[in-house]
Structure 1
Amino acid sequence: MAASIYYENYEIGEVRESAGRTITETDIVLHAGHTGDFYPHHMDAQWCSQQPFKQRIAHGTLVFSVGIGMTAGQLNPEAMSYGYDRLRFIKPVFIGDTIRARVTVKEKRDYPKRASQGIVVELVEVINQHQQTVLVCEHLLLTNKGYETE
């Protein structure tokens, strides 16, 4: 059975980190097929060798998807994703880079539509093997409160 974590159980400043995951050429090819994004930045090694990064880069949406997926380690039946804000691709991710995700509880606020719920804002940072931040965003988590409300 999944553990219930209510709004009031989240502590601002609380941090959790994922294990690492290496981005492969297969990841990039599959993501291109899923999204239809076959731009040469991701698919054409020869073209990329003449560009500033000198190699293919992973799709930003791939890094986002994998990074967010790595944060979803524990099912919480009292919460669901409400969306993402302030998404930025800070540095490129290359084939062979290993990324991990760090999540920090940044903010809590009441949900204006229902007194029985709140929004937990998590800062999500995706970090490469060189300890460089490659992606940041804010995850909004709609969370039930564990106490009775009027």
Structure 2
Amino acid sequence: MSDERYLEDYEIGEERVSIGRTITEADIVLHAGQTGDFYPHHMDAEWCATQPFKQRIAHGTLIFSVGIGMAANVINPRSMSYGYDRLRFIKPTFIGDTIRVTTTIVDKRDFKRPSHGILVEKVDVTKQTGELVLTCEHLHLVERRPGVEDI
């Protein structure tokens, strides 16, 4: 879906909620192969059975990648990702957990180029229990409306 908007068109407090997506064993195996992260916490069911969580844990970077992908259902040609701040892995996600993403606009600020500003979107990933498993801030570099110089 396309949603062409300038920085001034966004309102603090705007929120979007994704549909759910269940994390599978295949997700974990594929992510391990792509990243080289074959730590036993993710790959060794027998070893994990002896640990406090008693089961394999999805990679935090997997949940981050999938969550950001789930939040990217709206494409704005006047905006691009500038990066991520305050990324935290709060609780583990396991095989069979279903995650959902809520994004909330929390700030708009100036950027070194007057033609653009920074839009800060809080990203919260929760699982089916309602527990927060990941949070971060996604920074978007967004074009200002022509002729507008401050927020």
TM over 0.5: yes
> What do residues 17-51 of structure 1 show as CA deviations (whole Å, max 9, x unaligned)?
10000000000000000000000000000000000
The residue number in structure 1 matching 2:92 is: 92
Q: CA deviation at 1:5?
A: 1.1
The residue number in structure 1 matching 2:131 is: 132
Q: How does 1:58-73 map to 2 (within 5 A)?
A: 58-73=58-73
Q: Matches of 2:82 and 2:115 in 1, distance apart?
A: 15
What TM-score, normalized by structure 2, do the two folds share? Answer: 0.96
Q: CA deviation at 1:3?
A: 2.7
The sequence identity of aligned pairs, in percent, is: 67
Give the AA of the match of 2:89: F
Moved more, 140-149 or 130-139: 140-149
Q: Matches of 1:85 and 1:2 in 2, distance apart?
A: 25
Count of matched residue pairs: 149
The residue number in structure 1 matching 2:44 is: 44
User: Is 1:80 equivalent to 2:80 in the alignment?
Assistant: yes
What TM-score, normalized by structure 1, do the two folds share? Answer: 0.97
Q: CA deviation at 1:149?
A: 4.7
SS at match of 2:31: helix
Q: Which runs of 5+ in 1 are unaligned?
A: none
> What do residues 80-106 of structure 1 show as CA deviations (whole Å, max 9, x unaligned)?
000000000000000000001000001
The residue number in structure 2 matching 1:28 is: 28
Q: Matches of 2:35 and 2:2 in 1, distance apart?
A: 32
> What do residues 49-98 of structure 1 show as CA deviations (whole Å, max 9, x unaligned)?
00000000000000000000000001110000000000000000000000
Q: Matches of 1:44 and 1:134 in 2, distance apart?
A: 21
